[in-house]
């Protein structure tokens, strides 16, 4: 064993001048005769190391000098502050141990040259090591942590929902069917909402957070077939409560990312001023007003239709922060939406449309709490009443006005990171034409 203490690159600042070792992979290597500069990444950061021929054994110097990209190594030496270095520290190498050398004959496939998107996603298991993907997934983690902290500190209980479900929540056209046992068919969940409505009646305020599935046949930059959604649900709550939590949640997340992930935002060259503009209150407009704005801007939308991706982008151009659009026509919304008492043709639902053209990040609203109306809607939507008996029970036993929403994690990550396409926001994306690796 060595007397070198193992540290991560991120910890280098608190160990300057000490004998330490880092364990990682060769990211890049510069060399000129008697000096080599291996750039090592260890998952926590990237550090430039400096190896002098004069202060290393011949064997060690040669091994490092000929090291191949992504070979795994342990490097020992002393760290010092170096303002010009990435990360702010450098290590003067005293010795090294090669853990596995990538053979020359089968070099690491992802080189600093430009590769096509399909190539990179075919090699996603390796692509994740690149600086940009690393920054995105660090921000994703920060966002998920912020979401949990927000709900945990606002009195919500986490009660997760099943993934195998007997019925549709968000329309029957995007269901993935699974063969269960003995001829039984189940579906992969589209949303935990219906179950959340049950847990909210037990706990008051709940949320679920997990993967959800949509058989989206469209190939867009905003849709995955498997995505993560956080869904809060509140008993004795209305559309206004949804709006308030939706905007507070978004601002809380943005604040955390700005506080803790400046380095990663920098690596992505994100325009931070756009994120700093995301402050409460968000503008609130009705579907009617949104249609007016869109028609003025040249959209073909007519009252009664749902917004397409282009419409959402056009709408977001009008505001420097997210906009909340409420009271959509009942016909474009799911069966469970509570109708407006004064105007039953519109639903008490709201969509939060992100700024800068990132589209809908949150959808939610108030649920029908009247038994007869709910039964009627289930029938109108041709949903199998047997599968909804338990859901109807919630309207038989102490029904109350209640409301909630769902926020897509990947849409949020794409927005805050400023990404062109949603595929980069999750480690292993699942899309219409991608189920591998």
User: By the criterion CB under 6 A, which residues form the site for ligand 4AD?
Assistant: 169-170, 191, 193, 214, 216, 223-224, 227, 229, 231, 360-364, 404-408, 410-411
The runs of H, that is alpha helices, within 261-308 are: 262-267, 272-276, 287-296
Least Å from the CB of residue 405 to ligand 4AD: 5
Q: Smallest Cα–Cα separation from 417: which of 329, 371, 356?
A: 356
DSSP tag of 341: S
Chosen from Mg ion, ligand 4AD, none, partner binding at 223 (C-beta under 5 to 8 Å by type): ligand 4AD
Q: Which is nearer to ligand 4AD, 68 or 157 (CB)?
A: 157
Chosen from Mg ion, ligand 4AD, none, partner binding at 191 (C-beta under 5 to 8 Å by type): ligand 4AD
Least Å from the CB of residue 363 to ligand 4AD: 3
Least Å from the CB of residue 360 to Mg ion: 5
Taking CB under 5 A as the binding criterion, the range among 128-136, 311-319, 329-337, 361-369 that sits at the site for Mg ion is 361-369
CA–CA gap between residue 159 and residue 196 (Å, rounded): 8
How many CB atoms within 10 Å of residue 18? 12
CA–CA gap between residue 161 and residue 184 (Å, rounded): 20
The DSSP bridge partners found for residue 26 are: 40
* Bond prior to 309 in cis (omega within 30° of 0): no
Q: Which is nearer to Mg ion, 205 or 214 (CB)?
A: 214
Tokens of 284: 């609130």
Q: Which is nearer to ligand 4AD, 27 or 336 (CB)?
A: 336
Least Å from the CB of residue 95 to ligand 4AD: 48
Chosen from Mg ion, ligand 4AD, none, partner binding at 312 (C-beta under 5 to 8 Å by type): none
How far, in whole angstroms, is CA 368 from its chain's centroid? 30
The runs of H, that is alpha helices, within 102-223 are: 117-122, 124-127, 131-152, 193-203
Least Å from the CB of residue 192 to ligand 4AD: 7
Q: Which of 349, 363, 364, 401 touches Mg ion by CB under 5 A?
A: 363
Residues contributing to the site for Mg ion (CB under 5 A)? 363
């Amino acid at each position: 064993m060595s007397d070198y203490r193992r540290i991560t690159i991120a910890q280098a600042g608190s160990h300057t001048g000490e004998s330490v070792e880092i364990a990682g992979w060769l990211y890049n290597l510069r060399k000129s005769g008697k000096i080599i500069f291996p750039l090592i990444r260890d998952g926590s950061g990237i550090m430039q190391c400096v190896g002098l021929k004069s202060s290393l054994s011949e064997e060690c110097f040669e091994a490092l000098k000929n090291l191949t990209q992504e070979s795994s190594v342990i490097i020992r030496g002393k760290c010092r502050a170096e303002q010009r270095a990435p990360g702010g520290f450098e290590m003067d190498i005293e010795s090294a141990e090669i853990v596995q050398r990538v053979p020359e004959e089968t070099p690491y496939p992802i080189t600093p040259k430009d590769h096509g998107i399909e190539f990179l996603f075919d090699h996603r298991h390796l692509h994740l090591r690149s600086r940009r993907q690393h920054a995105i997934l660090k921000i994703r983690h920060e966002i998920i942590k912020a979401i949990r902290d927000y709900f945990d500190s606002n009195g919500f209980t986490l009660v997760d929902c099943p993934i195998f479900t007997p019925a549709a929540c968000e329309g029957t056209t995007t269901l993935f069917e699974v063969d269960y046992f003995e001829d039984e068919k189940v579906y992969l969940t589209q949303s935990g909402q219906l179950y959340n409505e049950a847990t909210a009646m037990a706990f008051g305020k709940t949320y679920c957070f997990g993967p959800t599935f949509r058989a989206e046949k469209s190939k867009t930059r905003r849709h995955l077939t498997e995505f993560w959604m956080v869904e809060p649900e509140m008993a004795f709550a209305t559309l206004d409560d949804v709006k308030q939590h939706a905007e507070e949640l978004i601002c809380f997340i943005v604040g955390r990312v700005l506080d803790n992930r400046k380095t990663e935002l920098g690596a992505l060259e994100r325009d931070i001023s756009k994120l700093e503009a995301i402050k409460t209150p968000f503008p609130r407009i009705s579907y009617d007003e949104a249609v007016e704005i869109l028609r003025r801007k040249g959209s073909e939308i007519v009252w009664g239709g749902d917004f397409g991706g282009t419409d959402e982008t056009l709408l977001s151009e009008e505001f420097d922060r997210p906009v909340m659009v409420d009271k959509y026509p009942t016909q474009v919304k799911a069966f469970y939406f509570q109708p407006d008492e004064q105007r039953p043709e519109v639903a008490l639902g709201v969509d939060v449309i992100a700024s800068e053209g990132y589209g809908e990040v949150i959808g939610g609203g108030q649920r029908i709490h009247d038994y007869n109306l709910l039964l009627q809607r289930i029938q109108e939507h041709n949903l199998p009443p047997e599968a909804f008996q338990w859901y109807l029970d919630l309207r038989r036993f102490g029904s109350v006005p209640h409301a909630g929403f769902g926020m897509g994690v990947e849409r949020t990550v794409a927005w805050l990171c400023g990404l062109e396409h949603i595929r980069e926001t999750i480690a292993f994306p699942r899309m219409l034409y991608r189920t591998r690796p």
